Structure 1
């Protein structure tokens, strides 16, 4: 990455992204966050410069600076990406940990956070703006939509389809061939052996509707 990156979000996920960019020798311009208590504070050598809608910093994005949205809350993440698309005509970059293993036959979109020791197998399709936490395994031919959040240590079997806005908790196993619908939620530690309808919440082993 030639340009420095400006990170949107200075809390938990923002620090994760900062660490990823540092490990990849990417220059970080600074961080933005809507919590005024964080403004002008330091995270290591980096400053929380201001709010996420500060025009003084937003105007840097595009020609001089890249952007990454490091906010886990789905609605806020949606809004910030939409703002960057509309006001700056850019897509956020990916933050990929240097210990992640990604097949050369996988297809990865924009704006994703791929954490430490994540493994993405061949012919996986990963959309845009998703979060794969530490140690997630995505087996071959799985398809993940936009804004998917997968918790640490989860295993997504081969041929699984996870639609956009779905949330998969930590330590979940999704058996091969299962489909998880749009906006569905799977509780931590669950084993998913059958399709999960859009918007539903499931939990347990085997996972059942809550």
Structure 2
């Protein structure tokens, strides 16, 4: 049997705990019999599972299956790199209610929340988060460490580059690209390519300078 270790006990970490409890197929496939958190903060209370140590001190065991539940793409990458250097093994978590079509290729550490629809011929990089109620159209490419907040809509042929962050209910029209490290604000409609490293928001979405990331 395996222990599920959720890296990060913040809001998304608590959501991941709830989602895995309502995903018996995932629990059976990964042979999960217990769940714990790893987090550097020592002032957290009311969590649904115990914190067993800090990120700095955690050493994975051969029975640990890991999920990194840190929302910030940059911070998530930094933490994952530390844990992978200690031979940590990250699971793919796809909620039992998600719909996944044909020819979908995804990397380790993927988190797919409830009621997501992933259609066909899609590539998803490592350690990306796809929050509840998102839809992903055909021929989409999502690179490493991308975050989709809830209810995003990626239409056909969209590309999200490494560490892009989409706020709640963002829509990207067919064939458009969101650059590496860019942030698209909640409710935005992307009608043209978003350059790397900028903040962009509005309908239609407009870019407003480089982010300090």
TM-score, normalized by length of structure 2?
Answer: 0.88
Structure 2 residue ranges without an equivalent (≥5):
209-213
Q: Do the aligned partners of residues 177 and 33 (structure 1) sit closer, same or farther apart at CA in structure 2, a change above 3 Å counting?
A: same
Q: Deviations over 1:124-177 (max 9, x none)?
A: 111111111111100000000011111111100100111001111111110000
1:11 is aligned to 2:10: yes
Q: Tell me if the contact between 2:60 and 2:86 (Cα under 8 Å) persists in the aligned partners.
A: no
* Number of the residue aligned with 1:78: 77
Counterparts of 2:5 and 2:89, CA distance in 1: 13
1:115 is aligned to 2:119: no
Q: Deviations over 1:7-63 (max 9, x none)?
A: 11112111111122222242333111111113xx5533x2122212224xx242xx2
* Number of the residue aligned with 1:191: 189
Counterparts of 1:59 and 1:109, CA distance in 2: 20
1:34 is aligned to 2:34: no
Q: Deviations over 1:159-196 (max 9, x none)?
A: 01110011111111100000111111111111111111
* Structure 1 ranges of 4+ moved more than 3 A: none
Counterparts of 2:156 and 2:79, CA distance in 1: 32
User: What do you get for the CA RMSD once the two structures are aligned?
Assistant: 1.6
Q: Tell me if the contact between 1:187 and 1:202 (Cα under 8 Å) persists in the aligned partners.
A: yes
Counterparts of 1:171 and 1:59, CA distance in 2: 36
Counterparts of 2:60 and 2:131, CA distance in 1: 31
Structure 1 residue ranges without an equivalent (≥5):
none
Q: Tell me if the contact between 1:20 and 1:96 (Cα under 8 Å) persists in the aligned partners.
A: no
Q: Tell me if the contact between 2:129 and 2:147 (Cα under 8 Å) persists in the aligned partners.
A: yes
Q: Tell me if the contact between 2:73 and 2:164 (Cα under 8 Å) persists in the aligned partners.
A: no
Q: Helix, strand or coil for the counterpart of 1:18?
A: helix
* Number of the residue aligned with 1:48: 51
TM-score, normalized by length of structure 1?
Answer: 0.89
Q: Tell me if the contact between 2:130 and 2:149 (Cα under 8 Å) persists in the aligned partners.
A: yes
